[in-house]
Each structure stands twice: as C-alpha cells, then as structure tokens.
C-alpha cells in the first residue's frame, strides 16, 4: 500500500518501533539526544556541579545518559544511579542504599570500562558508537581498588540491615516532645540508650507536618565518620584513572522531598577537594536541594551548584516546534521514513500543542496518532485522506488523559495528591463552566501556595505556560501569566460543546486574545 497510505509502509513501521524502543532513557536515547538550546550538552559535561531541571519526558535522563556514555568512552570514572528505585525508602537507610548503589557502579567501572581492551567491540558498542580512548589505568592497581571497594559495599550492607537507636526531638510552635519506639531484632547499647529502634517508624511519624526535627542516629553518625574515608577512596579512583570523576543521580524527585538536601549534602562532602562532579536530574517543583540552617544542608544554587533547564515551552512556539521536529527527524532518518508523507501540516502543529513541548510526549503522541489514522483508514473513513490529520492527533491526545492521571498518581504522595487534584478540578471547572476556553490567566504576584501548586501542574504537564507578563486593561498595575489547559482534557471523547480553543500559537495571533478579564482565574470564586 503506497502513496496516500504511506502510514502502512514498512519504513513507517520501523519508525514506530524505533520510537517505542527509545521512550525510556538508555544508551539508545543518548544517541538521539538533541540540545534544546545551543551549548546545553557542553555545559552539562563541564567540570562543575549541575542540577538539571525538566518535566517528565523533557530529556533529562537522555542528557545524563549521554554524559555517562561519553565518560565511559573517555575512560572517566562515572556512576549512573537511578533514584526511582529508592522511592519510599526512609533516611538514613535511604542514603545507605544510594551509597551502596554508587559504590557498586564505580566498582563496575573499575572492572570494565577502566581496563577493557579498546578492541573489545561487543563491550564498547553496547555503550556508544564512538571509539574508546586508550587505557590509562594500571590493571593490578585497578583490581586491588575494586576489591577494596567491594569490602566497603559489604560493610555498608551490614550497616543497612542492622537496627539502631533513634532519638527524635520535634520542635513545633515552641513545644518540644521526645519520641522513641523500639524495634525488634538484636540491639546494642550506647551509654544508657538501647540501640533497638527503627528509624523508619520515627521518620514517618514526623512526616505529616512541617516541623523542625533533630535526631541522633547511630547509622547517621557512622556515615558522617566515614566521609573522610570515602573521600580517600575517590582520590584513589582519580589517581588510577588520571581523570575527573562523575556521579550522576537521576530522578531525585522520587525520593522524599525532606530527605533530598541530606542526600545531596552527603555526596557534596565526599566530592569536596576537586575533580569529582555531581550531576542531578529532577523536576523543579518536586525538589528541595538546599535547607537553610546552622549549618545549612544541601547545595545552594549558583554558590555550590548551577542549574540547567531543559524545558521548552509553548510561549516560544516556533522554536519549540523546530526542536521537536529535529528530534523526530533523527528517528525518521534512521528508519528511512518520510515525515511529509505521514503528517499533514495541521497535524504537525497539533502534535506540538498536545505535547505541551515535551519531547517524549511528542514522540508518544506521534505514534498514537498514526494508530488512530490507521484505524480510521481501515474502517473506510477516507474523506480526510491517508495521512495523519489534526483530528487523528486530537483523538490520540484524548486517550493520553489516563496517562496524565497515572503520572500524577506515581509522582505524588497521598497528601500532595489530594490538594493537587482539588486544584485541577477547580481549574477544569473554571475553563469549562466560566471562561469556556482552554486558557487561563494567573496573577504574577500570587501567593506562594498558589505559585507552588501552579508550578506543580506545569511540571505534571496539566498546565502549559504560553505567555508571561500579560496586562489586562481592567486590571491596571497587574501582570498575569497565561497557561493552556492540557489538550487531553477537552479532545477525543472529552470534546466539549460551546468551548473555544484560543489559537495563541498562530503567527498572526495577537496577545489581545489573551487580555480578557474573563480569563483571570480566581481560586476563591
């Protein structure tokens, strides 16, 4: 089947398969990583600590995987640690688990990339398509250090599984209460204190309100005493490799927010002394990288760590469209597919809008839109032609609604989820029942609470920012930001009557279409 039915051709099938294989970050996605802005990759690879912000699917993991694979090719010690696997872990066992994974990854480097022969093609091709550097590490010294690191991993595992005493002092409105709880298993003693208390239950007890908590934990104290020893281990790694060391912590937002500064702070201590660089991938409004105090905990932006923002928005529509199609074109070139034979011009614009500018969503919706078009053509509905249309893309977007809710469920805890769901329903009712449009205006000088929840909805891809600093004639002296409610809320099976889609993105569109007082969202109304 050819011509107008190109979407059934083998090249299109290969394109879909390639996209499916690449929707999760891996060495494959590292190959297809495209910079959202010139210089992003070179900055991320530089000798500086970085925290990479971006919505789910924006390319954080692809960028970090690319850095990691290039490090390995250049024989640089590099550990890639996916923090999602530690979701639900409680500090200090959380930190112990991450340390074990980190040391294990560096041990793998010592046993493989540090000493693997340059002509071992099966190994190097699994990492990158680039040619590896010549080996610099001494094999005997590398094996000795690998053995030493293995002993450290065993010791950390023993510490992880032993029970301990935790003394918690909770300060709340000048009231101080001492909490303790005894766990089972083998205990130990320190002075008159029984070391048989589980940190998990104590930490969880203080989780439900924002309180200042000071605690004494045997595991915590041991970890602090080990900092200098761990620093020395990494000095040995640097000496053997004659190179910089890189620790990549991906998806920080999956670990409890109150524990994030403690984890970051610990690795920052180990990294001090130079030539050890930390790269962190996370979602902005689900992240706490610094906690002020005496002493402060974590890493402070600009002072200790720089930020890289991977998000591209619908505000710069033309730039975002060019970026997304550059990503898709890389896949099309490898599969031999012709995008102009697959998509109408209307479908191209609609794909950009329904994806909200998020690369992974763009690719997933592209694939689903092809499925919708194939189903339409197979059922004999040929009036709209044999290519993917904007209507096919709308239907694909409508079916993406459940995926949005699953991401909300996966990325938030019960307490946060309830407040976010309430806000989503409030915005949805405002758009459908009051303004009857897909866009809202929110005052820039809004409260911190509103600012945070709006940021959460942007990170969760429920709202998409389309303009900043808009003025409204009937609200003198005020500035507003404009947001679009995600297409999945009002397309496909959820198409609404008497509902206007504001075409803010069109080249001839004026900001006047967004300056209406009726678009101003008032949560209290």
Work out whether strand 78-82 and strand 245-250 pair parallel, antiparallel, or are unpaired. parallel
**What pLDDT shows up at residue 180?**
40
**What pLDDT shows up at residue 241?**
96
The CA distance from 512 to 258, in Å, is 43
As a whole number, mean pLDDT of residues 64-84 equals 96
The CA distance from 309 to 297, in Å, is 23
**What pLDDT shows up at residue 343?**
96
**What pLDDT shows up at residue 445?**
77
* Diameter of the chain measured on Cα atoms: 83
As a whole number, mean pLDDT of residues 342-354 equals 96
| Each residue's pLDDT tens digit, 199-240 | 444 444 444 344 344 556 889 999 999 999 999 999 999 999
pTM for this entry: 0.86
As a whole number, mean pLDDT of residues 43-71 equals 94
**What pLDDT shows up at residue 282?**
97
Q: Is the pLDDT of residue 523 over 70?
A: no
Across 74-88, 191-205, 209-223, 458-472, least confident range:
191-205
The CA distance from 97 to 88, in Å, is 12
The CA distance from 160 to 96, in Å, is 6
| Each residue's pLDDT tens digit, 6-39 | 899 999 999 999 998 886 645 566 777 889 989 9
**What pLDDT shows up at residue 413?**
74
Across 19-28, 35-44, 143-152, 414-423, least confident range:
19-28
Residue 202: C-alpha distances to residues 108, 196, 451 (Å): 35, 12, 31
Spell out the domain ranges in the chain: 3-20+314-398, 37-309, 411-519
**What confidence category does residue 495 fall into, taking pLDDT thresholds of 50, 70 and 90?**
confident
As a whole number, mean pLDDT of residues 343-370 equals 95
Q: Classify each residue of 466-488 as buried b or exposed e, where b means 16 or more C-beta atoms within 10 Å of its C-beta.
A: bbeebebeeeeeeebbbbbbbbb
Q: DSSP string spanning 333-391?
A: HHHT--GGGTB-HHHHHHHHHHHTT-HHHHHHHHHHHHHHHHHHHHTT--TT-SSB-HH
Of 179 and 72, more confident: 72
Q: DSSP string spanning 251-296?
A: -GGGS-GGGHHHHHHHHHHHHTTSSEEEEEEE-GGG---EE-SSS-
The CA distance from 153 to 105, in Å, is 11
Q: Is the pLDDT of residue 267 over 70?
A: yes
Q: DSSP string spanning 133-147?
A: PPP-S-HHHHHHHHH
The CA distance from 166 to 390, in Å, is 59
| 392 closest CA partner among 414, 357, 366, 359 | 366
Task: Say what percent of the chain tops pLDDT 70.
Answer: 86
Q: Is the pLDDT of residue 328 over 80?
A: yes
Q: Is the pLDDT of residue 525 over 60?
A: no
**What pLDDT shows up at residue 198?**
42
**What pLDDT shows up at residue 273?**
78
Q: Is the peptide bond before 92 cis (omega within 30 degrees of 0)?
A: yes
As a whole number, mean pLDDT of residues 355-384 equals 92
CB atoms under 10 Å from CB of 521, counted, come to 21
In this structure, what DSSP letter does residue 91 have? T
| Each residue's pLDDT tens digit, 397-406 | 988 888 888 8
């Amino acid at each position: 089947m050819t011509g107008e039915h190109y979407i059934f051709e083998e090249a299109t099938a290969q394109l879909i398969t390639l996209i499916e294989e690449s929707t999760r970050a891996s060495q494959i996605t590292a190959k297809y990583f495209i910079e959202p802005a010139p210089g992003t990759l070179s900055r991320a690879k530089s000798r500086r600590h970085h925290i990479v912000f971006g919505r789910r699917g924006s390319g954080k993991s692809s960028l970090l995987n690319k850095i990691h694979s290039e490090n390995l090719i250049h024989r640089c010690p590099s550990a890639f640690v996916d923090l999602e696997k530690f979701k639900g872990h409680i500090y200090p066992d959380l930190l112990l688990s991450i340390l074990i994974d980190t040391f294990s990854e560096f041990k793998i480097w010592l046993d493989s990339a540090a000493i693997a022969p340059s002509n071992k093609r099966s190994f190097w091709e699994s990492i990158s398509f680039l040619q590896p550097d010549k080996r610099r590490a001494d094999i005997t010294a590398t094996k000795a250090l690998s053995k030493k690191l293995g002993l450290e991993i065993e010791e950390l595992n023993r510490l992880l599984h032993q029970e301990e005493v935790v003394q918690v002092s909770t300060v709340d409105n000048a009231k101080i209460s001492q909490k303790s709880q005894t766990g089972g298993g083998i205990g130990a003693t320190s002075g008159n204190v029984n070391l048989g208390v589980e940190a998990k239950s104590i930490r969880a007890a203080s989780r439900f309100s924002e309180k200042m908590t000071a605690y004494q934990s045997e595991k915590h104290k041991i970890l602090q005493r080990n900092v200098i020893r761990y620093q020395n281990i990494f000095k040995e790694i640097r000496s053997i490799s004659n190179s910089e060391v890189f620790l990549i912590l991906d998806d920080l937002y999956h670990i409890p927010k109150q524990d994030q500064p403690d984890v970051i702070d610990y690795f920052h201590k180990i990294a001090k002394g130079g030539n050890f660089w930390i790269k962190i991938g996370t979602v902005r409004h689900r992240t706490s990288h610094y906690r002020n105090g005496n002493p402060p905990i974590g890493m402070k932006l600009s002072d200790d760590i720089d930020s890289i923002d991977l998000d591209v928005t619908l505000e710069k529509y033309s730039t975002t469209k060019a970026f997304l199609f550059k990503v898709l074109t890389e896949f099309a070139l490898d599969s031999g597919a012709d995008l102009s034979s697959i998509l109408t011009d209307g479908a191209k614009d609609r794909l950009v809008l329904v994806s909200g500018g998020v690369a992974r969503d763009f690719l997933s919706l592209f694939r689903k839109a092809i499925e919708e078009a194939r189903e339409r053509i197979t059922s004999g509905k040929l009036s709209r032609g044999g290519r993917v249309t904007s209507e096919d893309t709308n239907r694909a977007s409508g079916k993406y609604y459940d995926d949005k809710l699953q991401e909300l469920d996966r990325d938030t805890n019960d307490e946060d989820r309830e407040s976010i769901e309430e806000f989503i329903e409030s915005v949805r009712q405002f758009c459908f029942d009051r303004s009857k449009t897909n866009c809202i205006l929110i005052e820039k000088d809004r409260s911190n609470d509103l600012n945070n929840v709006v940021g959460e909805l942007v990170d969760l891809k429920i709202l998409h920012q389309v303009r900043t600093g808009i003025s409204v004639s009937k609200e003198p002296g005020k500035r507003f930001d404009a947001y679009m409610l995600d297409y999945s809320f009002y397309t496909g099976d959820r198409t609404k009557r008497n509902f206007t889609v504001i075409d803010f993105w069109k080249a001839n569109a004026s900001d006047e279409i967004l300056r209406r007082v009726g678009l101003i969202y008032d949560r209290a109304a």
